[in-house]
Amino acid sequence: MTTKSSRPRVDRVEDGSYKVCVSSAPERGKANRELLTVLASHLGVKKSEISIVRGEKSRNKLIRVEYEA
């Protein structure tokens, strides 16, 4: 995750992971909340179906998506 970006975006990396850029600063969870919003929108799931499993205070995060069809 990259913070303080000019605009939020999601890019796929060669190894199959995603690089997410958010405009929020990494303070008081603002960037993490925006990350979940941006990823949910990109993946087409509800924000309540996505959560951070590991890496709350790290640039590298493990995200869980619980999608119900």
In a domain, 58, yes or no: yes
What's the structural domain count of the chain?
Answer: 1
Q: Is 34 a member of any domain?
A: yes
Helix (H, G, I), strand (E, B) or coil at 33: helix
Q: Is residue 69 pLDDT above 80, yes or no?
A: no
Mean pLDDT of the chain: 93
Residue 67 has what pLDDT? 78
Confidence bin at 40 (pLDDT 50/70/90): very high
User: Tokens 């939020």 belong to which residue?
Assistant: 8
Cα 69 from Cα 57, distance rounded (Å): 31
Q: Regarding predicted confidence, which is higher, 2 or 68?
A: 2
Query: Which residue from 68, 66, 65, 69 is spatially nearest to 35, judged by alpha carbons?
Result: 65
Q: Rounded to two decimals, what is the model's pTM?
A: 0.88
For residue 41, what are the domain limits? 9-65
Q: CB–CB of 61/52 below 8 Å? A: yes
For position 68, what pLDDT does the model report? Answer: 76
